Structure 1
Amino acid sequence: MINLSLGLASTIRHDGHGGVADDLVEPAGLTAWVRDRAPHLGDWAAGFAADEEALASVVALRTGVRALFAYAVRPGPPSPADAHRLLPLPAALDRVNSAAARVLVTPRLTWVDGDDPVGRPVPAGADPRTALLAALARATIDFLSGPDRPNLRACTAPRCVRYFVKGHGRQEFCKPSCSNRARAARHYQRQQAAVATVPAGVATEPGGRASRPVDRDR
């Protein structure tokens, strides 16, 4: 099942050009994000239309979620996107718990012929904005109190700002492109270190290796 909490945190991401992109800078972005996840949120989400108030509420909740993720990955480093402005732990907890408490839910079982039965909490009489906040907050509580939390990491590839769940013990980065970028960065650093250790007057080859001494009297 899709991880709504991780998905919310990942709306802040690397933009592919060395900067940080935010998928929730305007109501249209939130509308698209919610509708794409309607099968995991409920029937109400298919027709969801965000306004400025809904956007501000979800972004505020995301700030709390990303702060909790930063505390969860310790002693590892947090995402650099907002490591310098994290909410204190009590404030982040209050933001998530308050959102989760806004809506009473009842369990509902659905079963499409040929598929497995699925249980989903259904909000009782809440407006879509409140239902969305409560669903995202409950997903965060379920995730951080569940078995996947110990595998939560902040990707340490250059310029990446994502959190991800390790799929296996040796996974270091959120996706292959980040792994390739980190490998290229390490190679560049080794080259620079090799060049820095070459004595003055000794030329270097493209790979950083010393070549024959340069005779400056010629």
Structure 2
Amino acid sequence: MERWAALELASTIRHDGDGGVTDELATVQGLKRWIHEQRALLEGHFPEDSEVVDEDLRLRVVELRRAVRALFARAVSPTRPSPPDAHRLTPAGRAVAELNAAAALVPVVPRLDWPLEGPPKTHVSATRDDPHAVLLAALARAAIEFLGGPQRERLRACTAPRCVRYFVKSHGRQEWCKPSCGNRARAARHYERHHRTPDGTPASP
């Protein structure tokens, strides 16, 4: 399971491009679409049959996302977390317990594949048939791997106006998740500098 799936899960809460925030997992159809879009990262740990993606699974994935975002907020502390749900995140201790419980839903076994031509490859195979449990456990293990690895220390909450994404800092001066956020942040700073009175208060319109 690719660890970056945890970042993608956290990013299902995002800026809608129109001044608000949208939740990609707000509906069962939204969850189906997200699973389909992430099929490469999920490495087969997702329900092949869309009929098994139901409201129960959606609620469980959303609850897992709440735990992941709570631990992302802890990881970026003492800087501010992503704002949309910072006031109602799962307490960190409970988030850890929920993540571990979800990861334990499905035992996995390591497997070695070594074709006649080419290098050997390793992967893990789930040992349970419940597609809900397989998906939840895979997402939880991805989050555990992400938070337990070196990328946790490079995790940041984007500070651009209206952005609510977390990102992994790739170089020393990076402040935003993507160039468009940097452009928006610089424009906001420029506007603020040129629309304040000498005493630092906002100028009247």
Number of aligned residues:
196
Aligned with 1:45: secondary structure? coil
Question: How much does 1:115 deviate?
Answer: 7.7
Aligned to 2:35: 34
| Shift in Å, 1:76 | 1.2
The separation in 2 between residues aligned to 1:4 and 1:159, in whole angstroms, is 23
Write out aligned runs for 1:1-218 (5 A): 3-43=4-44, 45=46, 47-49=48-50, 50-110=53-113, 118-193=121-196, 196-197=197-198
Structure having greater relative contact order (Cα 8 Å, sep ≥ 6):
2
Secondary structure at 1:47's aligned position in 2?
coil
Distance 1:38 1:4 in 2: 10
Q: CA deviation at 1:34?
A: 1.4
Distance 1:111 1:190, change over 3 A: farther
The match for 1:213 is none
8 A contact 2:158–2:166 mirrored in 1: yes
User: 5+ unaligned residues in a row in structure 1: which ranges?
Assistant: 199-218
Does the CA contact (< 8 Å) of 1:19 and 1:159 recur in 2? yes
Q: Distance in 2 between matches of 1:40 and 1:34?
A: 9
Report the residue type matching 2:23 in the other structure: D
| TM-score of the two chains, using structure 1 as the length reference | 0.83
Instruction: Give the secondary-structure state (helix, strand or coil) at the position aligned to 2:177.
Output: coil
**Deviation at 1:47?**
1.5
Aligned residues: CA RMSD: 2.1
Q: Deviations over 1:72-93 (max 9, x none)?
A: 1011110001111121111111
- Residue by residue over 1:75-114, the C-alpha shift from the partner in whole angstroms, topping out at 9 and shown as x without a partner, is 1110001111121111111111110011100123456899
- In structure 2, C-alpha distance between the alignment counterparts of 1:78 and 1:38, rounded to whole Å: 28
**Letter paired with 1:88:** P
CA distance in 1, matches of 2:136, 2:81: 24
Aligned equivalents of 1:92, 1:2: Cα separation in 2: 18
Q: Note if contact 1:64-1:92 (Cα within 8 Å) is conserved in structure 2.
A: yes
Deviates more, 1:51-60 or 1:124-133: 124-133
Counterpart of 2:202 in structure 1 is none
In 1: Cα distance, 2:20 partner to 2:116 partner: 46
* Percent identity of paired positions between Structure 1 and Structure 2: 54
Gapped regions of structure 2 (runs ≥ 5): 200-205
Structure 2 contact 156–167 (Cα < 8 Å) conserved: yes
Looking at structure 2, the residues matched to 42 and 28 of structure 1 have their Cα atoms a distance apart, in angstroms, of 21
SS at match of 1:192: coil
Change in Cα spacing, 1:188 to 1:118, as seen in structure 2 (3 Å) is farther
Name the CA shift for 1:168/1:16 in 2 (closer, same or farther; >3 Å). Answer: same
Distance in 2 (CA, whole Å) between partners of 1:154 and 1:61 is 19
The code of the aligned residue for 1:87 comes to T
TM-score, normalisation: structure 2 = 0.88
Distance 1:179 1:112, change over 3 A: farther
Q: Distance in 2 between matches of 1:117 and 1:33?
A: 31
Q: Are residues 152 and 116 of structure 1, via their aligned partners in 2, closer, same or farther at CA, if it must alter by over 3 Å?
A: farther
